């Protein structure tokens, strides 16, 4: 009987081999992350709306766990597979953002209860969505009770500001924005923070941490931290915030065991290139990729972003440059989803939300607006269906000022991305040597399949637009993938094996 079951499994594998292989291969680089500021996303429970004031950008706005649970299907339908939440620990008054801890072991009452948070994680897992929790171990809130505890005076560094940002000791031991700086070199503090980080995983089953203010905490602490928290749950993911413009400074933290980083050097280039026209793309894109390949063991796992809660929104940059923000945002999003790395979309980007510096970049989400929801959903689907975008190398095929074509290739999967960052329509020719065999380009957004002409493939791209093409074999007007005959052969072999086993069993 056991043999028959194995034979059946072989047959199932033969018929659906591709899906099984990819399920087994699934890693964090396959994820697409949606980033939520809990207080500013969705108010699902008005009974916890203490001191809510929608007119005060520095006050609570009412968002909570129930609101996120209610919107999980919305998030999933946009193609996201993981959610990063701003810190959920109990904060001191006015700490709507979560970064002013009052109690490391309690949930913030404005957001709901511990039970509701566990339900949120479970409901997300039911939809194959992972939860990444923002964790702050560098500092506490301004009024943390330990500050008045005589036994805890050596839990903090001296009250000194960070004045010299090139002095690593000052960066690690000074007070960031005046916040009490924890002394991770004190064994009691270290043990407390490590226990706390492990406890949240055991208690709530979250799948990863986004680590706040990594460069303000010594590397030897992070080494122990990474080792300890990863021992609690398999495949637990750490994505760190090292807010620095020098890629080598950021990459130095990879030695600690932190898996990934929000890629500030990528952010700087992408926002500069796409918030105005006529900027060269290919050269910088190739530069970032070659650099990341040389700096990281797995550069595919870095977090790409064009918006976050600490910088003015991309839409504001485009408006300041006198550009149409939606047009510019579409180009930037195409780039972010098709460049190597994990896309991280900050809530509100899907509705082209405007916002200046903090706290204006944290406005309440408006679910009646759908400006770019379908655009992002399409990008999410493409990323999910094409391993070239999650595992493939990058090659720039055309690189002119404002006009770029690049390819991503993984095994037999090939995706071509064409971008016109100029204010004129552009005709782009891809010659035979750039693409393999007799292929055709199937567009993701448009409806015109590009077939090979005498000189190669001729793509006409309207001004300030982009198109993603799937490169497929040209089977004379059919867009279907060639039937995989080897599946049939293996399936017949499996049927033969089962038949043999059944006949043998009858004769026993």
Q: Residues in the site for Ca ion, rule: CB under 5 A?
A: 43, 45, 48-49, 62, 64, 138, 172, 181, 216
CB of residue 59 to Ca ion, shortest distance in Å: 13
Which CB sits closer to Ca ion, 175 or 391? 175
The DSSP output letter for 476 is S
CB of residue 402 to Ca ion, shortest distance in Å: 43
CB of residue 66 to Ca ion, shortest distance in Å: 7
Which CB sits closer to Ca ion, 30 or 241? 241
Bridge-partner residues for 168, per DSSP?
none
> CA separation (Å) from 204 to 64, 125, 200, 340, 407?
16, 12, 6, 31, 41
Which CB sits closer to Ca ion, 159 or 455? 159
Which CB sits closer to Ca ion, 73 or 109? 109
Which CB sits closer to Ca ion, 181 or 212? 181
Which CB sits closer to Ca ion, 61 or 130? 61
Do 135 and 209 touch, CB atoms closer than 8 A? yes
Structure-token match 């226990």, residue found: 195
CB of residue 106 to Ca ion, shortest distance in Å: 17
Which CB sits closer to Ca ion, 81 or 138? 138
Q: Where are the alpha helices (DSSP H) in 324-466?
A: 325-338, 373-385, 387-391
Which CB sits closer to Ca ion, 64 or 102? 64
Burial of 224 (0-12, 13-18, 19+ CB in 10 A): middle
Hey, what are 20's tokens? 């099984």
Alpha carbon distance 405, 164 (integer Å): 43
Alpha carbon distance 428, 430 (integer Å): 7
Hey, what are 159's tokens? 């009250």
- Among residues 364, 283, 355, 349, the alpha carbon closest in space to that of 317 is found at 355
CB of residue 170 to Ca ion, shortest distance in Å: 10
CB of residue 34 to Ca ion, shortest distance in Å: 20
CA angle 373, 272, 164 (to 5 degrees): 115
Which CB sits closer to Ca ion, 50 or 500? 50
- Among residues 152, 13, 22, 129, the alpha carbon closest in space to that of 68 is found at 129
Do 239 and 261 touch, CB atoms closer than 8 A? yes
CB of residue 48 to Ca ion, shortest distance in Å: 5
- β 130-135/82-85 pair status: parallel
Which CB sits closer to Ca ion, 48 or 204? 48
Q: How many other C-beta atoms lie within 10 A of the C-beta of residue 231?
A: 11
Q: How many other C-beta atoms lie within 10 A of the C-beta of residue 476?
A: 7
Residues with Cβ within 8 Å of 215's Cβ and at least 6 positions away in sequence, in order, are: 171, 172, 242, 243, 244, 249, 253
CB of residue 173 to Ca ion, shortest distance in Å: 6
Which CB sits closer to Ca ion, 42 or 468? 42
Alpha carbon distance 339, 320 (integer Å): 26
The DSSP output letter for 243 is -
Alpha carbon distance 10, 260 (integer Å): 36
Which CB sits closer to Ca ion, 34 or 222? 222
Alpha carbon distance 489, 404 (integer Å): 42
CB of residue 52 to Ca ion, shortest distance in Å: 7
CB of residue 64 to Ca ion, shortest distance in Å: 4
Q: How many other C-beta atoms lie within 10 A of the C-beta of residue 346?
A: 24
Alpha carbon distance 224, 308 (integer Å): 28
Do 403 and 426 touch, CB atoms closer than 8 A? yes
CB of residue 365 to Ca ion, shortest distance in Å: 13
CB of residue 45 to Ca ion, shortest distance in Å: 5
């Amino acid at each position: 009987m056991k043999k028959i079951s194995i034979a059946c499994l072989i047959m199932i594998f033969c018929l659906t081999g591709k899906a099984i292989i990819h399920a087994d291969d699934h890693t964090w680089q396959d994820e697409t992350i949606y980033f939520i500021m809990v207080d500013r996303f969705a108010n699902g429970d008005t009974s916890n709306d203490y001191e809510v004031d929608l007119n005060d950008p520095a006050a609570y706005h009412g968002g909570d766990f129930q609101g996120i649970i209610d919107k999980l299907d919305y998030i999933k339908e946009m193609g996201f597979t993981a959610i990063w939440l701003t810190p959920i620990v109990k904060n001191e008054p006015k700490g709507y953002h979560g970064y002013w801890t009052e109690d490391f072991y309690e949930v913030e009452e404005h957001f709901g209860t511990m039970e509701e948070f566990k339900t949120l994680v479970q409901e997300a897992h039911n939809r194959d969505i992972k939860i990444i929790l923002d964790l702050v171990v560098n500092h506490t809130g301004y009024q943390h009770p330990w500050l008045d505890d005589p036994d805890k005076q050596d839990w903090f560094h001296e009250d000194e500001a960070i004045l010299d940002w090139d002095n690593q000791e000052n960066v690690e031991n000074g007070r960031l924005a005046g916040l009490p700086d924890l002394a991770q070199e004190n064994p009691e503090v270290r043990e407390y923070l490590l226990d706390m980080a492990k406890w949240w995983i055991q208690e709530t089953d979250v799948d990863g941490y986004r680590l706040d203010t990594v460069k303000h905490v010594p590397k030897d602490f992070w080494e122990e931290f990474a080792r300890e928290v990863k021992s609690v749950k398999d495949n637990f993911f750490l994505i760190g915030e090292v807010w620095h413009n020098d890629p080598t400074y950021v990459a130095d933290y990879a030695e600690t065991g932190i898996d990934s980083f929000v890629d500030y050097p990528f952010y700087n280039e992408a926002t500069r290139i796409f918030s105005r026209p006529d900027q060269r793309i290919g050269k910088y894109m190739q530069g970032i990729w070659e650099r990341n390949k040389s700096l990281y063991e797995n550069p595919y796992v870095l977090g790409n972003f064009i918006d976050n809660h600490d910088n003015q929104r991309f839409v504001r940059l485009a408006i300041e440059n006198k550009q149409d923000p939606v047009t510019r945002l579409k180009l930037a999003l195409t780039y972010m989803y098709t460049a190597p790395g994990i896309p991280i979309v900050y809530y509100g980007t899907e509705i082209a939300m405007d916002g200046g510096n903090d706290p204006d970049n944290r406005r309440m989400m408006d679910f009646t607006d759908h400006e770019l929801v379908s655009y992002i959903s399409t990008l999410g689907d493409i990323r999910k269906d094409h391993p070239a975008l999650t595992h493939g190398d990058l090659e720039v095929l055309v690189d002119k000022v404002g006009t770029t074509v690049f390819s991503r290739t993984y095994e037999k999967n090939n995706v071509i991305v064409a971008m016109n960052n100029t204010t004129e329509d552009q005709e782009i020719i891809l010659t035979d040597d750039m693409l393999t065999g007799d292929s055709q380009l199937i567009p993701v957004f448009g409806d015109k399949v590009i077939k090979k002409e005498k000189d190669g493939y001729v793509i006409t791209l309207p001004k300030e637009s982009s198109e993603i093409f799937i490169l497929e074999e040209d089977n004379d007007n059919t867009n279907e993938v060639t039937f995989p005959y080897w599946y049939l052969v293996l399936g017949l072999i499996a049927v033969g094996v089962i038949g043999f086993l059944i006949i043998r069993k009858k004769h026993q």
